[in-house]
Amino acid sequence: MTKLLDWRWQEDSISWPLHGVVSDQLDSDPTMTLLVPTQQVLLTEATLPTRKMNKVQHALPYALEDDLTEDVEQIHFAMGDWKNDSNQLSVAVVDKSLMDTWLLRIKEVGLNPKQLQPDVFALPYVSNHWSVWIEEKRALVRTGEQSGFATEPENLAFLIDHAIKQSADIPEHIDVYTSESGLELILPEFSGEIEHHLLSQTELSELAQHFHVLPGINLLQSHYSQKEQLNKALRPWIPAAMVLAISLVLQMSLLISDAFQVRVQVSQLEDELLRVYLTAFPDDKNVRDPIGKMQSQLAALQGETTGSGFIPLMSTVGETLAKTQNMRLMQISYRTGVLELALEIDSVSALDQLKERLLATRVDVEIASADKRDELVEARLRIREQSS
């Protein structure tokens, strides 16, 4: 969608008006300030019992409740500065639904302003001076650093006269700005000076060039602050992010647990390998590398055999023994073609099943002994190659 806007570019004390499609430079400007109609905002003061920020935010709506016609839950309160050393706080009040509408429209044109200000604060302010802007259907009055109001031109004189009578700081000078001839401010009871300025520029150009001098109250606070808007945009993704984070933590925990179990199993296998080696070769007392030692001893044995013997026989039955559950080898010996195994197994039936599985590997198996001890069976098996 084409985004046509009027805006003013400000650099130091120099500014110039622009109109047209929003540029990339304007889109990315981190100091962007947008002005909203002051007639939609109530600028007032609240007297509070404390200056502690956490208590102020809670007490502020109720301090102004009697002056408002709407439910305080439907109203946004933006805080300004404290007045001197008193407990009087400058406040901007605006309907939340209106704030939502403004921000939606701002988003639609692709802008991300740092500040949202009532346009009365674009008028110049000097101590003891009030500034007035008059156009055909609207008038703005800035009465202080963070105070002012908007009204219809026909009510302007009455409201300024009333504001002067209510003000503790009566202005000495009123500057009146307008781009239309014939629009003047007449205050018969005002004793100060009224100076009229007829301008050739448009309203936006005149207002915006003064804004950098003394900003007023930023409406982008609390729920509407940039930080809160970012949190609001990210909030729908929080559950998914939490699920992802939990999933990653669980996966890492499982990986760590698996790694620990693998280390334990490796350690157990190394211990079992050492035990088996010492069982097979009890005369070897210096075993620092049981795997290397076992390979050397097996190679020596293999060299002593000619196609039959310990290595081929052990290779034949080894897989069956490894797959047998609740069985523990206690001793291995090999003499004259007979592989003798001393083992512990949990039952006689399990021993018979082991024998059957070994026979299926085409070897002869003899149960030399089987004694029941406590809950285990101690057995000795004699295994030899089948005669061809």
pLDDT score at 2: 42
Planar angle of CA 69, 72, 77, nearest 5 degrees: 105
pLDDT score at 337: 84
Quote the tokens at residue 155: 């009510």
The three-state secondary structure class of 121 is helix
Quote the tokens at residue 50: 């404390």
Task: Summarize pLDDT for 33-76 with one digit per residue, the tens.
Answer: 888 899 999 999 998 888 888 888 888 888 888 888 888 889 99
The three-state secondary structure class of 200 is coil
pLDDT score at 160: 94
pLDDT score at 71: 86
Amino acid at 134: I
- 135/313 Cα distance (integer angstroms): 110
pLDDT score at 261: 82
With contact defined as beta carbons under 8 Å apart, do 45 and 67 qualify?
no
Question: Is the whole model's pTM more than 0.85, yes or no?
Answer: no
pLDDT score at 62: 86
Distances (CA, A) of 267 to 77, 83, 207, 254, 383: 68, 76, 81, 20, 30
Task: Summarize pLDDT for 205-229 with one digit per residue, the tens.
Answer: 555 565 554 568 999 988 887 665 5
The DSSP letter of residue 378 is E
- 64/61 Cα distance (integer angstroms): 6
Q: Which residues contact 100 (CB under 8 A, 6 or more apart)?
A: none
Amino acid at 115: Q
47 φ/ψ angles, rounded to the nearest 5 degrees: -95, 120
CATH 3.40.50.10800 corresponds to the domain 305-388? no
What is the per-residue burial (b if ≥16 Cβ within 10 Å, else e) of 207-222? Answer: bbbbbeeeebbbbbbe
pLDDT score at 210: 55
210 HSE (CA, 13 A, CB side)? 19
Beta bridge partners of 334: 339
How remote is the C-alpha of 80 from its chain's centroid?
30
Residues of the chain with pLDDT under 50: 1-4, 14-20, 213, 305-307
With contact defined as beta carbons under 8 Å apart, do 110 and 69 qualify?
no
Planar angle of CA 194, 195, 196, nearest 5 degrees: 120
Q: Where are the domains of the chain?
A: 4-224, 305-388
pLDDT score at 237: 60
